[in-house]
Amino acid sequence: MSQQIEKETQVTVDGSVRFAQKALRFHRQADRLNAIKYAKLAVECAPDNDRHWHLLGVIYQHQGNNEAAANYFTQAIAINDQEFI
């Protein structure tokens, strides 16, 4: 892998973690709109990260939107079935 690709990949992964941390912070403050916004940004940056999908599921579940939550949990399990079973 070239150094440029490695650098771009690392920036994307680091960004996804920062977005996920913000999402969790907003979720804990009951700011659901910003929690969803940042969790979705985390997923966009790192769509293969099962924990980001799981976080979206948790946020939607706490809103009472169980259908959306189930979809996000399903995506998390599809990426890493060992983590959530």
All domains in the chain, ordered by first residue: 3-79 (1.25.40.10)
The stretch 7-33 carries a mean pLDDT of 82
Tell me how far apart the alpha carbons of residues 65 and 58 are, in angstroms, rounded to a whole number: 10
Mention every residue, 6+ apart, whose C-beta is less than 8 A from residue 37.
23, 26
Residue 85: band (very low, low, confident or very high) from pLDDT cuts 50, 70, 90: low
Q: What 3-state DSSP class applies to 47?
A: coil
Residue 62, pLDDT above cutoff 90:
yes
Q: Extract the tokens encoding 28.
A: 């804990």
The stretch 42-65 carries a mean pLDDT of 96
Question: What is the pLDDT, as a whole number, of residue 82?
Answer: 86
Q: What 3-state DSSP class applies to 48?
A: coil
Question: What is the pLDDT, as a whole number, of residue 26?
Answer: 97
The answer to whether the pTM exceeds 0.75 is yes
Place of tokens 């804990």: 28
